[in-house]
A and B are shown apart, each in its own frame.
Chain A
Amino acid sequence: MRELSSGPGRMLVFVYGVFAVAATGRSAIQLGTEAGNAPFAYTLSLVAAVIYLVATTCLLLGGPSAWRVAVVSCAVELVGVLSVGVLSYVDTELFPDKTVWSHFGQGYAFLPLVLPFLGLAWLRATAPGRATARSVR
């Protein structure tokens, strides 16, 4: 099995790491200074932060079980960004302030929408049991 954090995975880890820090910082400041303003949106920011942290950690750790957890967190991330994206357009009252995932991650150049697809594609390429004859740089 190929290392999760080598090759293209190395770039992916960096991007996930940036988002983990960004989302964690954002939710910490939001919940710390103005939790009452938009509790639902800020809780979602926190959820996003945890997902990014888990995904980053799993990619760094590598190994079959980390791979499985990474697949789950990327799937949750995909469902999250899609449902929060739709919800933020449909029910604007729920989102008086923005989250990482509202409007499909518009405030982050839509990267939150692209990232789970990249993550899942990379996890598919590194699935345990897949032949590693082809070396990817």
Chain B
Amino acid sequence: MSVNDWITGAVYVLGVVVALWSLVLVIRDELAQDRTFALLATAELVLLVQLVVGCILLAGTDRDVSGVLFVSYLVGIVLALPIGAFWSLAERTRSGTGVLVIAALTVLALEVRLADIWSGGLGA
């Protein structure tokens, strides 16, 4: 397995875990605590690594990858969780926790597109 397979796998796993964890909190009507945000930070760290590794791989690849599109997805996916976390923390309610679920789902959706773009499929 190559580096980007590991990163992609880690993003999928962490994304699903964050989404499910937050969903459980919403269902139980509990607020997200430090542990949840530590998990979010871990996912964010992997996404930042992905941004760096992605740019390096893009520079060295001979694949037919749309550079602008690929980098914009790499950057966009990094922004989703921090914005979601701040937006969620600004209102500590059940809906605020729901924002975390949506942010995690956004990351998963973007990661799917990112993999598509990398493999040369699907246009803009």
Chain B: interface residue total (CB-CB under 8 A): 22
- A14-B84, A29-B68, A97-B123 known; A137 vs B93 contact (CB < 8 Å): yes
Chain A: interface residue total (CB-CB under 8 A): 23
Q: For chain A, what secondary structure do more than half of its interface residues adopt (helix, strand, loop), or is it mixed?
A: helix
- A109-B109, A137-B95 known; A14 vs B72 contact (CB < 8 Å): no
Residue pair B91, A6 in contact (C-beta under 8 Å): yes
- On chain B, the residues within 8 Å of A98 by CB distance are 123
- Complex partner residue of A11 from B69, B72, B95, CB under 8 angstroms: B95
| B120 CB → nearest A CB, Å | 16
State in angstroms the CA–CA spacing of A21 and B72 once bound together. 11
State in angstroms the CA–CA spacing of A15 and B68 once bound together. 24
Residue pair B93, A11 in contact (C-beta under 8 Å): no
- On chain A, the residues within 8 Å of B94 by CB distance are 137
Closest to B73 in A: A25
State in angstroms the CA–CA spacing of A21 and B79 once bound together. 11
A10 within 8 A of B: yes
A26 within 8 A of B: yes
Closest to A25 in B: B72
Which residues of A come within 8 Å of B, CB atoms? 6-11, 13-15, 17-18, 21-22, 25-26, 29-30, 33-34, 97-98, 109, 137
